[in-house]
């Protein structure tokens, strides 16, 4: 049984085959994959990994009280959802260039100045042909700081020149910060928004998404099932029969955090929370290596 953000997973595991080597029946469980070959689209496998990273981001994030610098009011904050767009036509500037020269320096700036911790970004093609980005993080950053930092990066490739000549201003509204603190199922909302299909739009050159290093962990919270666990599984199947999803390799039961805390044995729940804390702590280094376009 594997405990993961938003779900329990049940599957068979063979510890040794005839050569004495350890193997797992479902390679996808540990995200084993050949060397990356980017298709420019969000494949089903990529969607699965993106979904896991977003769920993990939300699950390990801490609720905090922050102050709006404009209104001076305090409110609870857990994650944000940011959209970064180009203020002019993309022209002949490649997607890879925009990621390496604009997006990644923007993320590094947010890490260095605002202590950006965990994050997931997703690239999409707009109908006007421009690339744009969705970014969700667990760090509060003032809206105007996000806008000014992104516009600074845009200016290096003259993306705000057209706006400047038209409106006599160097501050285009190129960013959008969505309010997500009142959405009940936050992870599901973010997953749905960031993994939507784009069948009729052009592909993206290179990576279509990525995340902070701590969210790429290969460690999982896994227990070899005992009799009591099989009894638990039977009860769960009776109580949540309509929720179970099965494939050739495993069965998955989506559960909320509060449901897990109520249903799981204390030892399992403690180990799961210790794992989440290790993910959170792994985001503390001030600089992340942002490579692989």
Domain membership of residue 293 (yes or no) is: no
Where does a domain end: 191, 212, 233? 212
Residues 53 and 173 in one domain: yes
Domain harbouring 163, CATH code: 3.30.70.1910
Cβ partners under 8 Å of residue 165, min gap 6: none
Average model confidence (pLDDT) across the chain: 85
Please, are residues 218 and 282 in contact by the beta-carbon 8 Å criterion? no
Residues 63 and 148 in one domain: yes
Spacing of C-alpha 234 from chain mean position: 32
Q: What is the DSSP letter of 103?
A: I
Say yes or no to pLDDT of 21 above 60: no
At residue 200, the pLDDT reads: 59
Domain membership of residue 114 (yes or no) is: yes
Residues 18 and 51 in one domain: no
Residues 25 and 36 in one domain: no
Report d(CA 70, CA 144) in Å as an integer.
10
Where does a domain end: 173, 197, 212? 212
Please, are residues 244 and 255 in contact by the beta-carbon 8 Å criterion? no
Domain membership of residue 291 (yes or no) is: no
Residues 198 and 179 in one domain: yes
Please, are residues 63 and 78 in contact by the beta-carbon 8 Å criterion? yes
Residues 59 and 185 in one domain: yes
Length of the chain measured in residues: 293
Q: Which of 199-203, 261-265, 288-292 has the highest mean pLDDT?
A: 261-265
Domain span at residue 44 reads 32-212
Tokens of 206: 């290179």
Residues 145 and 276 in one domain: no
Residues 138 and 173 in one domain: yes
What is the crossing angle of helices 186-194 and 44-60, to 10°? 150
Beta-sheet strands, E only, within 147-270:
175-178, 209-211, 221-222, 245-246, 250-254
Where does a domain end: 186, 212, 238? 212
**Count of CB atoms within 10 A of residue 100's CB?**
15
Percent of the chain residues topping a pLDDT of 90: 61
Domain membership of residue 64 (yes or no) is: yes
Say yes or no to pLDDT of 290 above 50: no
Say yes or no to pLDDT of 35 above 50: no
Parallel, antiparallel or unpaired: strands 175-178 and 209-211: unpaired
As for how many domains the chain has, the answer is 2
- Say which range, 45-54, 81-90, 143-152, 253-262, has the weakest mean pLDDT: 45-54
If one compares 37 and 19, the residue with the highest pLDDT of the two is 37
264 phi/psi in degrees, rounded to 5: -80, 150
At residue 187, the pLDDT reads: 73
Domain membership of residue 81 (yes or no) is: yes
Residues 111 and 123 in one domain: yes
**Which residue's entry shows tokens 């950006």?**
116
Which tens digits make up the pLDDT trace of 217-263? Answer: 999 999 999 999 999 999 999 999 999 999 888 999 999 999 999 99
Domain membership of residue 292 (yes or no) is: no
**Can you give the pTM of this predicted structure?**
0.84
Residues 160 and 40 in one domain: yes
If one compares 207 and 181, the residue with the highest pLDDT of the two is 207
102 phi/psi in degrees, rounded to 5: -120, -60
Domain membership of residue 255 (yes or no) is: yes
Domain membership of residue 8 (yes or no) is: yes
Residues 17 and 46 in one domain: no
């Amino acid at each position: 049984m594997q405990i993961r953000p938003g779900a329990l997973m049940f599957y068979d595991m063979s510890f040794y085959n005839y050569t004495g080597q350890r193997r797992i029946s479902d390679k996808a469980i540990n995200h084993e994959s050949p060397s990356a070959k980017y298709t420019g689209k969000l494949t089903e496998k990529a969607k699965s990994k993106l979904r896991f990273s977003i769920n993990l981001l939300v699950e390990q994030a801490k609720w905090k009280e922050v102050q709006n610098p404009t209104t001076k009011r305090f409110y609870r904050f857990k994650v944000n959802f940011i959209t970064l767009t180009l203020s002019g036509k993309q022209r002949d500037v490649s997607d890879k260039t925009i990621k390496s020269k604009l997006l990644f320096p923007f993320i590094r700036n947010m890490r260095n100045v605002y202590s950006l911790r965990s994050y997931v970004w997703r690239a999409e093609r707009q109908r006007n042909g421009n690339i744009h980005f969705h970014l969700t993080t667990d760090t509060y950053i003032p809206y105007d700081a996000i806008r000014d930092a992104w516009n600074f990066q845009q200016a290096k490739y003259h993306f705000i020149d057209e706006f400047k000549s038209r409106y006599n201003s160097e501050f285009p509204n190129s960013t959008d910060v969505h309010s997500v603190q009142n959405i009940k199922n936050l992870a599901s909302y973010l997953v749905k928004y960031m993994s939507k299909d784009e069948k009729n739009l052009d592909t993206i050159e290179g990576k279509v998404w990525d995340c902070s290093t701590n969210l790429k962990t290969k460690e999982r919270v896994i227990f070899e099932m005992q009799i009591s666990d099989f009894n638990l599984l039977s009860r769960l199947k009776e109580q949540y029969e309509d929720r179970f999803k099965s494939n050739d390799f495993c069965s998955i039961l989506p559960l909320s955090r509060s449901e897990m805390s109520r249903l799981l044995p204390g030892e399992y729940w403690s180990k799961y929370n210790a794992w989440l804390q290790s993910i959170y702590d792994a985001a503390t280094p001030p600089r992340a290596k942002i490579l692989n376009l």
